[in-house]
Amino acid sequence: MGGMEERTQALRAIPLFASLDETDLAEIADLLIDRKFPKGSVIFEDGSSGDYMYVIRTGEVKITKMSEDGREKILEILGEGEFFGEMSLLDREPRSASVKTTRACTLLALSRQDFIALLRRNPDISLDVIRELTRRLRETDEQIRGLLFERVEGRTRRLLRRRASEAVEGRPDRRATPPITHQQLADLVGTSRETITRVIKELKDEGWLDQEGKRYLIPVSED
Ligand code: CMP
């Protein structure tokens, strides 16, 4: 980031810092460390010790867990303005998952000490963090339900529905997901790439699903 003014302006666009006044924003701008990562970088590994939390200024990351036999489950994909790595700072336990960049990223790192001090001084930020943790827990509960009770096709539909938030030009009846590969879809749904390829074909044949490059188009009206 450039000068001080420019830096605080950029921070204002991040939801977590939206409630800060000018003085607090300038103070936090001083504490945040800019770190750039190319696509495919490991930010940290599951089980390592954690000293920093990160806010995504630009780019995209995936939060993952590995199975014993080396298959990857994507817990979540996070983008601009979202944050991760707060859990280890709060409970001092090892990192609960690995984080890798899926696009080139500029991250803002905040140390444990500065993060805790920020939460103590700003109840609005603390509430935002709690709300986000609550959202993730709901999401995880939904995933558990899906994995226990739903077949792959249902899980795939649900996942595409959840990720499709973009309007499609000239197609008011559809909304689109961000670009996503079959492998990523498989790792999100918790199945093999081969199975996803088959399910995607079935959903297209039945007319529910459309594709534009790597973006998936699903009906706006529920099913
Ligand atoms: P931490 O445990 O420090 O390191 C891994 C991070 O991944 C964790 O903090 C959270 O920020 C994030 N994370 C872990 N589990 C999930 C989940 N189910 N959904 C979204 N983010 C998660």
What is the residue with the minimal CA distance to atom 18 of ligand 1?
Answer: 75
Q: Give the Å distance between the CA of 223 and the centre of ligand 1.
A: 31
CA 167 to chain centre: 20
Tell me if 85 CB under 6 Å of ligand 1. yes
**Helix 123-149, helix 152-163: angle, nearest 10:** 150
| Spacing, Cα 47 to ligand 1 middle (Å) | 12
Ligand 1 atom with least separation from CA of 97: 5
pLDDT in tens, 126-172: 999 999 999 999 999 999 999 888 999 999 999 999 999 999 999 99
Q: How far does CA 161 lie from the centroid of its chain?
A: 16
Give the Å distance between the CA of 220 and the centre of ligand 1.
Answer: 30
Provide CB contacts within 8 A for 205, sequence distance 6+.
Answer: none
pLDDT in tens, 108-119: 999 999 999 999
Burial class (CB in 10 A: 0-12, 13-18, 19+), 45: middle
- pTM, to two decimals: 0.87
Cα distance between residue 195 and residue 182, in whole Å: 10
Can you tell me which residue has the tokens 């539909």?
Answer: 157
Distance in Å, CA 171 to ligand 1 centroid: 35
d(CA 101, CA 141): 25
Q: How far apart are CA 165 and CA 167, in angstroms?
A: 7
Residue to mutate (ligand 1; options 45, 66, 73, 87; most atoms within 8 A of CB): 87
Kindly report which listed range (3-7, 46-50, 189-193, 218-222) carries the lowest average pLDDT score: 3-7
Determine the distance separating the centroid of ligand 1 and the alpha carbon of 87, expressed in angstroms: 7
